[in-house]
Amino acid sequence: MSSQSTSLTVAAVLRERITSGAVAPGGSLPKRADLAAEFGVSGSVIRQALTTLEDEGLVTLGRGAPATVNEPPPPAPAPQTAGVLLPDRIRAAFEAEHVTIDSFSLTAETLHEALAVAYLGVRSGALTPRSIALRVMVPAIDTRLALPSLIDDPGDTRPLERLRGIMNTCHDTLAMGLNSLHLRGHVPEVALEFRSVPLTPMHKLYLLNGTESLIGYYEVVPETVLLEGGEARIYDVLGIDSLLFRSSSGPDSRDAQDAAFVVSSQRWFDSLWNSIARPIESG
């Protein structure tokens, strides 16, 4: 067995002792020499195991002293709907000097509505970012999208034309909102990039200032909408009412997995943005 595999085994045993309460917060693990003797491994293996636990936020390592068990992080808050959580988190993101928001969704309609709260804070002077940069990624309308679709006739293109109208409206309103903040002297620098990808989003993702991710899954539902020719039943997705799950890689990160999810989500977004995503214009 490799030293890495052995260190992970040791870390797993020590982790269980900590999470079970066998070693209380503020208490200390045995000295490294004692741990090496207990597990019958070298000091380097113990050092690797303790480093793993430190990376997870479970212990604090001291030079020449036993590892101290940390207080457990607060429990993760319950997920909230996009219409509730996103405005709150975007407003918090606007407390930064340089604001970046990356969005992947079906239309960007929820993003547009959520920004209204932060914009109000900027106009009142409560929020004073020096720059705001939005990157918005939506599906390419000329792709054979799975949703939205007419229930009785999936080949009918009217739901997609309705989607195109919503997307164009969102594009225009996002651009007008940002430009208004800039032209009125509230924010010195603003930028908006709008790109499309040839796939049907089945989740929405928001990345705030590179340190926070909000992700939610679209639930497919039947809905009655007004199309050219009258009312029609379509399969659509829940947007503003979908639950968002938050992760952070900042100071309030719960653990290494929480932070890693943000990093992975950002890499996923960037991989699409820099490869198959294409700039689009309103109209």
Q: What is the pLDDT of residues 202-218, one digit of tens each?
A: 999 999 999 999 999 99
- Cα of first residue to Cα of last residue in the chain, in angstroms, is 61
User: Does the residue 239 lie in any domain?
Assistant: yes
Do the beta carbons of residue 228 and residue 161 sit within 8 Å?
Answer: yes
> In terms of domains, do 149 and 113 share one?
yes
**Is the domain of 134 the same as that of 206?**
yes
Name the nearest CA neighbour of 247 among 237, 255, 235. 255
Structural domain count of the chain = 2
pLDDT digits (tens, 9 = 90+) for 9-65: 999 999 999 989 999 999 999 999 999 999 999 999 999 999 999 988 899 998 878
Question: Which of 16, 47, 69 is the endpoint of a domain?
Answer: 69
The answer to the question of residue 190 being in a domain is yes
283 alpha-carbon distance from chain centroid: 29
User: 72 or 275: whose pLDDT is higher?
Assistant: 275
For the record, the structure tokens of 194 come out as: 């709008």
Asked whether residue 75 is assigned to any structural domain, the reply reads no
Could you say which of 16, 41, 69 is where a domain stops? 69
Are 85 and 117 part of one and the same domain?
Answer: yes
- Whether 74 maps to a domain, the answer reads no
- Looking at residue 162, its amino acid is R
CATH of residue 50's domain is 1.10.10.10
> Is residue 209, in this structure, part of any structural domain at all?
yes
Look at residue 240 in the predicted model and tell me its pLDDT: 87
Number of alpha helices (DSSP H) and beta strands (DSSP E) in the chain: 7, 13
pLDDT at position 114, please? 95
Does residue 85 sit in the same domain as residue 138?
yes
Q: Say if residue 19 is in the same domain as residue 56.
A: yes
Looking at the fold, whether 203 and 262 belong to one and the same domain comes out as yes
134 and 193 share a domain?
Answer: yes
- Please check whether residues 135 and 239 belong to one and the same domain: yes
The mean pLDDT of 100-123, rounded to a whole number, is 96
* Domain co-membership, 229 together with 101: yes
Q: Are residues 203 and 111 in the same domain?
A: yes
Domain that holds residue 241: 80-279
Which of residues 47, 69, 91 is at a domain's end? 69
Q: Is 97 exposed, middle or buried (0-12, 13-18, 19+ CB in 10 A)?
A: exposed
The pLDDT value given to residue 82: 92
55 within domain boundaries: yes
> 76 CB contacts (<8 Å, ≥6 apart)?
246, 254
Residue 20, Cβ density class (10 Å: 0-12 exposed, 13-18 middle, ≥19 buried): exposed
Q: Do 137 and 268 have their domain in common?
A: yes
* pLDDT value for 31: 93
What are the pLDDT digits (tens) for 51-71?
Answer: 999 988 899 998 878 999 998
* pLDDT tens track for 164-197: 999 999 999 999 999 999 999 999 999 999 999 9
Q: Which residues contact 37 (CB under 8 A, 6 or more apart)?
A: none
Mark whether 136 and 51 lie in a shared domain.
no
**pLDDT band at residue 282 under the 50/70/90 scheme:** low
pLDDT at 256 over 90: no
Determine the Cα–Cα distance for residues 146 and 230; give it in Å rounded to an integer.
Answer: 22
10 Å Cβ neighbour count for 243? 16
Quote the pLDDT of residue 1.
39
**Is pLDDT of 283 > 70?**
no
pLDDT of residue 5: 58
Classify residue 47 as exposed, middle or buried by CB count within 10 Å of its CB (0-12, 13-18, 19+).
middle
Tokens of 74: 């607060």
Give the pLDDT of residue 2: 44
163 pLDDT higher than 90: yes
Stretch among 66-80, 90-104, 244-258 having the lowest mean pLDDT: 66-80
